Amino acid sequence: MTPEALNTFFAICIGFAFAGALVSGYQAVAQRPAGFGLLQDGVAPKTFAAVPFLVFAAPFIIMRNTLRGRQVESRRVEFVMMATVIAGFWSMMSGTFFLMTLRAAGVLV
């Protein structure tokens, strides 16, 4: 495995883990699951605060909704595969940003 592939795999794992931690923390505090419905409150400060949260939590929310939709609504496998690819790419981007932030802060070498 090349170093670039390992770095990409690590970024995907970090992105999914960070998304899961954010959603779990939100659910523990708010006593309800996080979702994209947080953006439907109109123009309000909490709506603007939800945007950065959803940017990093989206991979977990996408996968949770996709797997739940597969079980409940019997969605097609192609839809689940497409959503998994989108969530994986999104996770890679947010994980890369998170790792770059840690490197800039001097936590990682």
Give per-residue pLDDT as tens, 42-69: 888 888 889 999 999 999 999 999 999 8
Question: Closest Cα to residue 66, out of 53, 48, 78?
Answer: 78
How far is it, in rounded angstroms, from Cα 92 to Cα 89? 5
Q: How confident is the model at residue 20 (pLDDT cuts 50, 70, 90)?
A: very high
pLDDT of residue 65: 92
Give per-residue pLDDT as tens, 68-84: 988 888 888 899 999 99
Q: Are 83 and 66 in contact (CB under 8 A)?
A: yes
Q: What is the SS3 assignment for 2?
A: coil
What are the residues whose beta carbons fall under 8 Å from the beta carbon of 20, sequence distance 6 or more? 60
